[in-house]
Amino acid sequence: MGTVKVRLFARLAELAGTRSEDVEIGEGLRACDVYRLLEERHPQIAGLADKVMYAVNQEYASAEAPLREGDELALIPPVSGGRDAV
């Protein structure tokens, strides 16, 4: 058993009401499993998992990336906006 620091960005942080949270993990837990745990704590983010990008220890990773104690998991939703070049 260990802990990972989860950082939520943009719309996910707004919906969850927090920018970071510590999550207890067990052996073999993946990034997508942690997202599911957060959905239980913050039902407002449910249904967005397939649109989220993951980063483990500041490197992009797949949803299947395994996590270890002390890792940092970033959850990054799609971002839109800006302006087309003229």
Chain segment 34-69, per-residue pLDDT in tens: 999 999 999 999 999 989 999 999 999 999 999 999
**Taking 70 as the threshold, does the pLDDT of residue 70 lie above it?**
yes
Percentage with pLDDT > 90 across the chain: 81
Reported pTM: 0.88
**Tens digits of residue pLDDT in 6-43:** 999 999 999 999 999 999 998 899 999 999 999 999 99
Tell me how many domains the chain contains: 1
Judge whether 45 lies within some domain: yes
The full length of the chain comes to 86
CATH number at residue 6: 3.10.20.30
Judge whether 83 lies within some domain: no
Judge whether 8 lies within some domain: yes
**How many C-beta neighbours within 10 Å does residue 49 have?**
16
Which structural domain range is residue 72 located in?
A: 2-76
User: DSSP character for 44?
Assistant: G
Judge whether 24 lies within some domain: yes
User: DSSP character for 41?
Assistant: H
Distance CA 5, CA 52 (A): 17
